[in-house]
């Protein structure tokens, strides 16, 4: 178990030759010189003669000494007998933390280079080849593991023990690794699968082969997937291949700091990583390399263009710059070992389900193309046969023998098993597996094709590497080989590949070579594309939507290669309202990278677009969980939300209630029925209400011809859901009902403020929709129930003594037979297997024991303490949604809401964020990782508090600091911002502020509402009105986000103009500009300043036309 106390105070010192040299520079005057200087501090060092890598070394010094977003500036001074230089940390000239500047003025740079180098990044991590990393166990409830044990499972760890990556400092001390090491930007078109390029240059989290909980397991890492660079000085007489005749060798380096030990590949000294979804930037920093190298890896993500964004491809554009006055040859390569799936064992026989499973489920579990009559063949190799040679022979046999499609090689006994079934995988480090396939080379692409015989398998398809460049003289070369090391031997000679085209080997590679003149900069792009059209859902063929768009992987790769500049330009325009705005760096960075949450979506062939709650909680589109993360989805891809709404409407209950989700499962995944849109779950306070909210958002925000029909289609369903909710409350508040904060057990109490607030929200939203639809009778009825609920909330839940709203209210006496009442009402009581509990679990609450209940039992309740005065951090999440819709304050007395928010700040705060609830137990709550129910930090608590407080007139800086506490903890302390957990650990059980419960989760994405709070954006597209009430001081640039319109609001104060007869006066100029979409407005206003031009208030906004006016 990691000693977390040592981990937190540890200082990273890395012993590599390069860093040792830098440390020598930094510590020349004092053995205890600090590694990080404050802005303005000076460091005096002896003059050191630096070679061509002077600028590179200074850049790395800046990272080590000054920190992110600053540079080292030096000046010389002389005294008798010595010369010294002073170094000062200063901010970079522009706002980008990476310090890149656009090369648009460089006539030698392509347009693609200019676009890429103009991208903005707000995070940074770097790894050296001497750094050491290790996985250590931490406590948890459940998180997504590094490796998944098999198919048809929620990807969650077992036994409350989670492996987490740490940097090993030696002597038993550990530190959080650099940004980009635990997680990084997932690369791949939306719903097509993805992988991550980490800061050490390795490729992780592979899901491009149709992997998800209803299919096969993800692949954690494919270490033999690597990129490499080659550079060499070139004489003027050099031929087209860039060779020179003086015998000088070139430099060839793998772009990995820690290549596999047995590969003997030459590692780069340092890699620097930055990520802004959907882009990863990897920069090589090595004193041996005579050219500057930066790799931009990116996928298509185009605003309100789902088809164009569903591109199963990733572009790797390398920008190579020659900083010298000599001619250079430079090459970039990529190796793809796609013929081998590491650390997996194929299941050739039907899987055996648990003995308790019904017989129908046992048959289904053997699905995924497998059948009871599947055939297999096993043979072994002699001990003296090389293991790699044996594995290649096993792979080769699956190609040559017609009846077999899959192969599995056992590293321990050197045995090979062939199977006629397909592709179910079980994680096992002692095995390698794969499927028949052949390489072929054509049309500037190398392709591995598995589609020849097993045409119905989810692994059947192809993957390609294609080369592109704006340089017409680029030279492409290809090769295939048994190992990545064999590929490298060819590349390291002269930067090109030997052209071997052996078909049935695991590795294929492509290299692109260019000539670089003095100070010249060029780019080449390798596009990795894939085409696996046969997605399966628990064995049921459902297909992939992208198979409607492309014919094969070459088609997909060529499509991306043709549109690289458009794709990058659109990414830049998507980013700029956030990364080039007045938002603090952490907030813009977190919000843009939260778009990576789309990794868990899948889009099947019949056009249904669906998404898992999380990979480790395998529910599909639970209405309430979608709500917490929905703002970027409904604004960037509104059709994704609309499609789900029709599905939720289709699974509604007869009484009008919208049921929780389309498919239930979480940690387990029911094997029947083999159907996606089932409709399942609980009666919840934030489900039917959220359905009404989604519909009102579309009606108010989306100025599109289709919106009116959507609202008319779904209004009857929303109306019936509203009437169901009113009936449920019986004229007061919803009682004994579950919210998204289910583990708190609020359904065990009569009333809860959270549930009451969502009822108030539902009444206000339904009232607005009813008025729009002309159903004035319902509007009045909603208004009546809204007022009744307001009164009930104050009567039952306002705590006059403590001056806040209690988390819950209980109306039964202390001797009430609670369990008897539950039985009478049919509410299920938790059942537990007593033998599972250890001594430290005996006293934990029933809600914690929920996670140790008997297999197969449903969500249940147990007796809960009825302590009065409990304070829940996020009781007023519904108020966040109400403010964003312009529905006003939900409670009757706004002063009470303000007092409540201040009480949360006073009573629930910790160094890592607000505890989800205090006061139910003695502070801070239970101190067991098996029962952190109240003593835990839910990731939407802090940003929701910030949104409400900002709307209530609190200093916006306070809200930004409160939200930063949780969000920047994950971003800049834990350094895991592309794998944000749902819940962080609380205080006192060795998980302070660490991931505790569920991975890649969307709770924190409620922070998107903070943007609308800061800008005061209120939209009513039916009335063609867009109004802003900014909460920040002048000047500012703030995002404008609506379904179908994306841009920025800018306000600049003019210089005061003196007049001989008048006092100085100041005008403010406002500009609303759109990067995407269009708006037809009749009322555009900022504060008290309404847009007017030539006597009219009407304006049509588009990406070509902005609105500019002054007051």
What integer pLDDT is reported at residue 539 of this predicted model? 87
* E-assigned strand segments in 907-1029: 917-918, 936-938, 983-985, 995-997, 1018-1020, 1025-1028
What integer pLDDT is reported at residue 868 of this predicted model? 79
Which residue would you say has higher pLDDT here, 37 or 384?
384
Helix, strand, coil percentages, rounded to 5, for the chain: 30, 25, 45
φ/ψ of residue 632, rounded to 5: -65, -30
- DSSP assignment letter at 300: -
Q: What is the pLDDT of residues 519-529, one digit of tens each?
A: 999 999 999 99
Q: What is the pLDDT of residues 167-223, one digit of tens each?
A: 999 999 999 999 999 999 999 999 999 999 999 999 999 999 999 999 988 999 998
CA 853, CA 860: separation in Å to the nearest integer? 9
What integer pLDDT is reported at residue 397 of this predicted model? 86
Q: 807 to each of 23, 738, 751, 848, 1006, how far by Cα in Å?
A: 54, 13, 9, 18, 21
CA 214, CA 196: separation in Å to the nearest integer? 21
Stretch 359-378: mean pLDDT, rounded? 46
CA 231, CA 35: separation in Å to the nearest integer? 33
CA 104, CA 113: separation in Å to the nearest integer? 8
Q: Which residue has the tokens 């900083």?
A: 323
Burial of 453 (0-12, 13-18, 19+ CB in 10 A): middle
Percent of the chain exceeding pLDDT 90 equals 65
Q: What is the pLDDT of residues 610-621, one digit of tens each?
A: 999 999 999 999
- DSSP assignment letter at 403: T
Q: What is the pLDDT of residues 549-602, one digit of tens each?
A: 999 999 999 999 999 999 999 999 999 999 999 999 999 999 999 999 999 999
Stretch 309-329: mean pLDDT, rounded? 97
Residues paired with residue 1027 on neighbouring β-strands, in sequence order: 1018, 1085
What integer pLDDT is reported at residue 12 of this predicted model? 34
Question: Strand, helix or coil at 70?
Answer: strand
For the cut 50, the answer to whether the pLDDT of residue 988 exceeds it is: yes
Using 50, 70 and 90 to split pLDDT, how confident is the model at 44?
Answer: very low
Pick from 287, 275, 263, 117: which is nearest to 199 by CA? 275
- pTM score, whole prediction: 0.87
DSSP string, 99-141: -----TT-TTS-HHHHHHHT------EEEETT--EEEEEEE-S
Question: Strand, helix or coil at 879?
Answer: helix
Contacts of 957 (CB under 8 A, 6+ apart): none
CA 979, CA 997: separation in Å to the nearest integer? 12
Token pair belonging to 157: 């760890």
Q: Which residue has the tokens 């097509």?
A: 192
CB 220 within 8 A of CB 147: yes
Q: Which residue has the tokens 């607005």?
A: 768
Percent of the chain exceeding pLDDT 70 equals 79
φ/ψ of residue 484, rounded to 5: -65, -35
Residues paired with residue 1042 on neighbouring β-strands, in sequence order: 1045
Kindly report which listed range (68-72, 134-138, 972-976, 1085-1089) carries the lowest average pLDDT score: 68-72
Using 50, 70 and 90 to split pLDDT, how confident is the model at 1036?
Answer: very high
Q: What is the rounded average pLDDT for all residues in the chain?
A: 83
What integer pLDDT is reported at residue 819 of this predicted model? 63
- DSSP assignment letter at 351: P
For the cut 90, the answer to whether the pLDDT of residue 18 exceeds it is: no
CA 913, CA 943: separation in Å to the nearest integer? 10
What integer pLDDT is reported at residue 832 of this predicted model? 39
Number of residues in the chain: 1111
Q: What is the pLDDT of residues 97-124, one digit of tens each?
A: 333 333 333 434 579 999 999 999 999 9
Stretch 1010-1038: mean pLDDT, rounded? 97
ω into 178 cis (within 30 of 0): no
Q: What is the pLDDT of residues 61-98, one digit of tens each?
A: 554 445 444 555 544 443 433 334 444 555 544 433 33
What integer pLDDT is reported at residue 11 of this predicted model? 30
For the cut 60, the answer to whether the pLDDT of residue 1001 exceeds it is: yes
Q: What is the pLDDT of residues 253-304, one digit of tens each?
A: 999 999 998 888 999 999 999 999 999 999 999 999 999 999 999 999 999 9
Stretch 445-472: mean pLDDT, rounded? 84
Q: What is the pLDDT of residues 1050-1076, one digit of tens each?
A: 999 986 555 544 555 689 999 999 999
CA 476, CA 333: separation in Å to the nearest integer? 9
What integer pLDDT is reported at residue 853 of this predicted model? 31
Stretch 908-933: mean pLDDT, rounded? 86
């Amino acid at each position: 178990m990691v000693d977390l106390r040592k981990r937190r105070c540890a200082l990273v010192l890395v012993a590599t030759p390069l860093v040792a040299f830098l440390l020598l520079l930094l510590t020349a005057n004092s053995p205890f010189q600090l590694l990080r200087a404050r802005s303005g501090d000076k460091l005096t060092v002896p003059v050191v003669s630096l070679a061509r890598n002077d600028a590179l070394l200074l850049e790395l010094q800046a990272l080590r000494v000054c920190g992110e977003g600053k540079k080292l500036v030096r000046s010389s001074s002389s005294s008798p007998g010595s010369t010294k230089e002073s170094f000062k940390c200063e901010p970079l000239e522009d706002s980008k933390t990476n310090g890149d500047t656009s090369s648009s003025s460089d006539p030698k740079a392509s347009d693609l280079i200019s676009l890429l180098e103009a991208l903005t990044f707000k995070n940074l991590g770097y790894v050296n080849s001497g750094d050491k990393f290790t996985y250590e166990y931490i406590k948890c409830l459940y998180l997504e593991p590094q490796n998944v044990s098999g198919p048809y499972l929620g990807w969650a760890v077992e036994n409350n023990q989670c492996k987490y990556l740490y940097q090993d400092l030696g002597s038993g001390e550990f530190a959080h690794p650099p940004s980009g090491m635990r997680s990084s930007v997932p690369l791949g078109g939306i719903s097509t699968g993805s992988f991550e390029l980490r800061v050490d240059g390795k490729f992780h989290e592979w899901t491009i082969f149709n992997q998800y909980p209803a299919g096969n397991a993800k692949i954690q890492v494919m270490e033999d997937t690597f990129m490499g660079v080659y550079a060499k000085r070139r004489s003027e007489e050099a031929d087209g291949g860039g060779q020179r005749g003086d015998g000088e060798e070139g430099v060839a380096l793998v772009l990995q700091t820690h290549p596999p030990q047995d590969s003997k590949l030459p590692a780069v000294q340092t890699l620097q990583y930055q990520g802004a979804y959907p882009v990863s930037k990897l920069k090589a920093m090595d004193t041996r390399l005579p050219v500057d190298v930066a790799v931009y890896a990116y996928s298509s993500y185009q605003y309100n263009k789902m088809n164009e964004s569903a591109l199963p491809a990733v572009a790797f554009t390398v920008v190579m710059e020659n900083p010298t006055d000599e001619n250079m040859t430079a090459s970039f390569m990529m190796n793809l070992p796609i013929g081998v799936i590491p650390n997996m064992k194929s299941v050739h026989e039907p899987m055996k389900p648990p003995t308790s499973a019904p017989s129908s489920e046992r048959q289904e579990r053997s699905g995924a193309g497998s059948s009871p009559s599947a055939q297999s063949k096993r043979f072994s190799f002699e001990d003296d046969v090389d293991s790699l040679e044996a594995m290649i022979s096993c792979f080769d046999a699956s190609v040559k023998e017609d009846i077999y499609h899959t192969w599995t090689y056992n590293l321990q006994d050197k045995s090979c098993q062939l199977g006629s079934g397909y592709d179910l995988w079980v994680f096992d480090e002692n095995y390698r597996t794969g499927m028949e396939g052949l390489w072929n080379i054509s049309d500037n692409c190398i392709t591995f094709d598995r589609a020849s015989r097993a045409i119905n398998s989810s692994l059947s398809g192809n993957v390609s590497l294609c080369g592109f460049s704006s340089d017409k003289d680029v030279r492409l070369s290809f090769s295939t080989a048994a190992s990545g090391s064999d590929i490298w031997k060819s590349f390291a000679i002269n930067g090109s590949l030997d052209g071997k085209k052996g078909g049935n080997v695991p590795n294929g590679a492509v290299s692109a070579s260019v000539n670089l003149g003095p100070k010249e900069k060029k780019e080449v792009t390798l596009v990795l594309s894939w085409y696996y059209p046969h997605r399966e859902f628990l064995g049921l063929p459902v297909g992939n939507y992208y198979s409607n768009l492309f014919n094969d992987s070459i088609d997909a790769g060529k499509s991306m290669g043709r549109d690289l500049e458009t794709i990058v330009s659109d990414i830049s325009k998507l980013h700029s309202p956030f990364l080039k705005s007045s938002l603090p760096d952490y907030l813009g960075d977190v919000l843009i990278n939260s778009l990576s949450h789309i990794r868990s979506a899948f889009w099947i062939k019949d056009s249904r677009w669906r998404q898992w709650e999380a990979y480790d909680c395998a529910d599909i589109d639970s209405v309430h969980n979608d709500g917490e993360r929905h703002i970027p989805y409904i604004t960037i891809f509104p059709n994704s939300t609309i499609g789900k709404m029709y599905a939720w409407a289709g699974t509604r209950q007869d009484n009008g209630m919208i049921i929780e989700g389309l498919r239930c499962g979480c940690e387990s995944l029911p094997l029947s029925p083999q159907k996606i849109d089932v409709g399942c779950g609980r009666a919840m306070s934030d489900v039917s209400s959220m359905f009404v909210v989604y519909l009102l958002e579309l009606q108010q925000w989306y100025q599109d011809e289709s919106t009116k029909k959507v609202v008319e289609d779904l209004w009857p369903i929303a109306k019936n859901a509203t009437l169901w909710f009113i009936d449920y409350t019986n004229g007061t508040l919803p009682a004994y009902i579950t919210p998204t904060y289910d583990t708190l057990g609020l359904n065990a109490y009569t009333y809860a403020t959270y549930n009451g607030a969502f009822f108030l929200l539902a009444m206000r939203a339904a009232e607005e929709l009813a008025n729009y639809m002309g159903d004035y009778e319902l509007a009045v009825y909603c208004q009546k129930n809204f007022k009744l609920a307001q009164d009930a909330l104050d009567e039952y839940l306002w705590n006059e003594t403590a001056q806040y709203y209690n988390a819950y209210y209980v109306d039964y006496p202390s001797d009430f037979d609670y369990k008897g009442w539950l039985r009478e009402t049919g509410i299920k009581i938790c059942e537990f297997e007593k033998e599972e509990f250890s001594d430290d679990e005996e006293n934990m609450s029933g809600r914690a024991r929920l996670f140790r209940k008997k297999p197969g039992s449903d969500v249940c309740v147990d007796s809960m303490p009825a302590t009065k005065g409990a304070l829940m951090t996020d009781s007023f999440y519904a108020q966040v949604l109400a403010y964003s819709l312009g529905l006003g304050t939900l409670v009757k007395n706004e002063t009470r809401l303000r007092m409540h928010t201040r009480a949360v700040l006073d009573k629930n705060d910790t160094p890592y964020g607000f505890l989800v609830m205090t006061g139910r137990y003695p502070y801070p709550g239970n101190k067991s990782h098996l029962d952190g129910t109240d003593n835990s930090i839910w990731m939407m608590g802090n940003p929701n508090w910030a949104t409400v407080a900002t709307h209530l007139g609190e200093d916006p800086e306070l809200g930004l600091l409160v939200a930063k506490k949780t969000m920047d903890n994950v971003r800049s302390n834990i350094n895991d911002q592309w794998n944000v957990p749902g819940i962080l650990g609380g205080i006192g059980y060795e998980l302070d502020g660490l991931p505790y419960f569920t991975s890649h989760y969307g709770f924190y994405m409620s922070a998107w509402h903070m943007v609308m709070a800061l800008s005061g954006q209120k939209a009513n597209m039916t009335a063609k009105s867009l109004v802003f009430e900014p909460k920040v001081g002048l000047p500012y640039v703030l995002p404008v986000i609506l379904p179908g319109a994306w841009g920025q609001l800018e306000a600049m104060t003019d210089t005061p103009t003196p007049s001989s007869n008048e006092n100085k006066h100041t005008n403010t100029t406002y500009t609303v500009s759109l990067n995407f979409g269009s708006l037809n407005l009749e009322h555009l206003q900022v504060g008290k300043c309404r847009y007017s031009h030539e006597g009219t208030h009407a304006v049509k906004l588009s990406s070509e036309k902005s609105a500019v006016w002054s007051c």
